[in-house]
A and B are shown apart, each in its own frame.
Chain A
């Protein structure tokens, strides 16, 4: 009952302070009834949602919390205005990635404006820690993290996203 920390003079005190003693022997405490009625009325207000109480639960798949700005979810590879992937296979993201989960194999680009493009671009989503370093490192603004957070799959292989999957995200 005592809220004070045990300092030597207080621990030697045999009698509890009179104020507290009064509290624990009073009518309210002894009969329980006033406290019980207050409690019942309180929960009743919750049942009827009086006093501004409201249900906090969201029915998840149907209702979703709005995603906060800057949320880091699944990756997406961006496309330019011609529908080609923006990525030039510079390996910056692969280098910076702290969990080493990006795998890129480059090939020669068939287009005039760049030398290379990724033939294979895979991210192992199970190893990724969603830190967003790849997004920051990319010189061409080709990769970014979306707000998709319901990242589920039925096997591990499905969580290694290839280029098409990332482009369609």
Chain B
């Protein structure tokens, strides 16, 4: 294989994998929801309903595309793409296996966090341009929610970076900051107890809760809240544009899970030392995928368990509980680092 082709291979494989994971995720969500509600779920199309996502996509493609009167055309068409691209884009800095990473930027984690939060532009522009009060309210809520929970997420992240840098210092005698996602995973590898979840249990909890809010998943799906806002920000979207929002939501879920795995659950580290060479790489990718799938299952599981938060409860939890807790977490981490080093 020509050398110049190799750098292209990883992005193609990674994005191909995400794109094919999403339909399976939709099917999985429907089947798990059915199991929780003592139903069967879609099981007619193909063996055990395996081709159901295909049928869904075909159905969505053939639906009538409705553009309501009075929409801001330019933004209306831009919003679905904006909802979907940032989530996929953030995957570039996530190491999916040992040495398998599209770009190991030296500020990788910050990049991922920043880009995922751009996804809210799609939602709020969609709500704004639809010329519909429900959609607008959904977009506004999404903004408020992302702003509040982004803070807890960032603060929780600081704990991880402190811990990483602490261990980096000890092992290599260097003082360079480890903000690259590859570096953070390297530091967690080797043993299951190196994973950041054991060094930052509180941080993990805060980060994961904030991830739910960031992805607009139940119990924090206020932006689309069917009960009050019809469909929220995508009330006025139909056909493939609606599907794009849907796709964006699920890719954002995958990205958030991958980011959580990278930061807290040891990334591609399977918990034992990997063999050298290609086999080791394969095992590391497998471990990463399994961890992401477990987190995705928890996403779905939580969605079908908890009712939606009220708006004031959501804001109260964000500002009065999670942010102080995240600050407390930073404080404790700092104290422990100081005492140990």
Contacts and interface: CB of A to CB of B under 8 A. Distances in A.
Contacts of A55: 35, 38-40
Interface residues of A, number: 15
Interface of B: 32, 34-40, 43, 301-302, 304-306, 317
Interface stretch (A46-54, A89-97, A98-106, A148-156): A46-54
A40 interface: yes
A56 B38 contact: yes
Nearest to B43: A59
A44 interface: yes
Contacts of B43: 59
A146 interface: no
A46 B301 contact: no
A-B pairs with lowest CB-CB distance, top 10: A57-B40, A43-B305, A39-B305, A43-B36, A47-B35, A46-B36, A57-B39, A56-B38, A40-B305, A55-B38
A32 B143 CA distance: 24
A36 B306 contact: yes
Contacts of A54: 38
B38 A59 contact: no
B39 A47 contact: no
A125 B301 CA distance: 47
A46 B35 CA distance: 7
B301 A40 contact: yes
A16 B305 CA distance: 30
A55 B35 CA distance: 8
B301 A43 contact: yes
Given A36-B306, A39-B306, A44 B301 contact: yes
Contacts of B38: 46, 53-57
A169 interface: no
A111 to B, nearest CB: 52
A46 B36 CA distance: 5
Contacts of B306: 36, 39
A56 B40 CA distance: 8
B40 A47 contact: no
Nearest to A53: B38
Nearest to B304: A43
B305 A59 contact: no
